[in-house]
Amino acid sequence: MTWQTLRTDLATQGYIAGDDLAMALHLAGSLERPLLLEGEAGVGKTELAKTLATLKSTQLIRLQCYEGLDASHALYEWNYQRQLLAIRAAAEEGVTGRETEDRIFSEDYLIARPLLQALQQDAPPVLLIDEIDRADEEFEAYLLEILSDFQVTIPELGTIAAKTRPHVILTANGTRDLSDALRRRCLYAYLDYPDRTTELAILAARHPGLEAHLCGQIVGFVQALRREDLEKKPGIAEMLDFAAALAGMGLNDLTDDPVALQKSLVTLLKTQRDRAAVPAEVAARLAGKAA
């Protein structure tokens, strides 16, 4: 498969990828390397992993990162309640010592978390490590070994190697700087807000029933909003929600019903400050200029 074919296949699933992104994703697959995606929230980083899983008809395994994330939540942990029950049952049976230990520290009592799940799949899954920059540097360092060797060591069981190498996508929103060591192990692509032509193509792919005039107004309005002084600029998902809301209200032109337009901004503006920054008169002005 060429990168051009991959870009076309993504488009059939409603994901419009630029040449650079399609090439990066293609090379990540052919070289079996993780792909690090950076960019503002809402530009389609997570959606790319979901679309890739759909395209390849494989499982999407998602690890949502956060401050304080550790190996027990990302890799595995033991089912302590089942282990205690097993110890009591073994004692009643007169089984003690090493035999009991071997029983309770087997895979039957292991709870696999996303990283271990990804290594255990018979078919290569898509492993999405979402918002890696929210995790601590200690966890990032721990992740390096897994991304290098695609194997993990569990003291009670030994080393578990991946049955098949997963397609790994990491996303980052710029919360903190990532280490050079992590970047060296990954291919890289930066996703920005789409230009007008690309965003129109995304809207047409996801809402094919909308009239071209309204599509142009929606994209123009949302892109104008992003140039306003907002805490959280509306992303692609918000733009699509906005379009669905307008279609649901039966609006064919943004200037037809200023009250309905203002109410529909709940799909685009997600903080009280941003709502206050776009009163009805500002919304009407932006709608009037939207082509």
Domain count, the chain: 3
Who has greater pLDDT, 25 or 250? 25
Provide the pLDDT for residue 210. 93
Provide the pLDDT for residue 95. 67
Who has greater pLDDT, 93 or 214? 214
* Domain hosting residue 20, numbered range: 3-67+113-191
Triad 1, 121, 20: Cα angle to 5°? 30
- 7 and 142 inside one domain: yes
> Tokens 């897994």 sit at which residue?
146
279 to 139, 189, 240: CA distances (angstroms):
43, 36, 21
Provide the pLDDT for residue 101. 74
- Evaluate whether 217 touches 283 at the Cβ level (below 8 Å): no
Residue 133 class from Cβ within 10 Å (0-12 exposed, 13-18 middle, 19+ buried)? middle
> Tokens 């080393």 sit at which residue?
159
- 120 and 35 inside one domain: yes
Number of Cβ atoms within 10 Å of the Cβ of 82: 13
- 142 and 282 inside one domain: no
- 103 and 245 inside one domain: no
- 144 and 232 inside one domain: no
Provide the pLDDT for residue 165. 93
Provide the pLDDT for residue 155. 81
- 277 and 254 inside one domain: yes
pLDDT tens per residue, range 53-104: 999 999 999 999 999 998 878 988 888 888 788 778 777 777 666 777 777 7
- 175 and 134 inside one domain: yes
- 284 and 267 inside one domain: yes
For residue 174, name the pLDDT band (cuts at 50, 70, 90).
confident
Provide the pLDDT for residue 103. 75
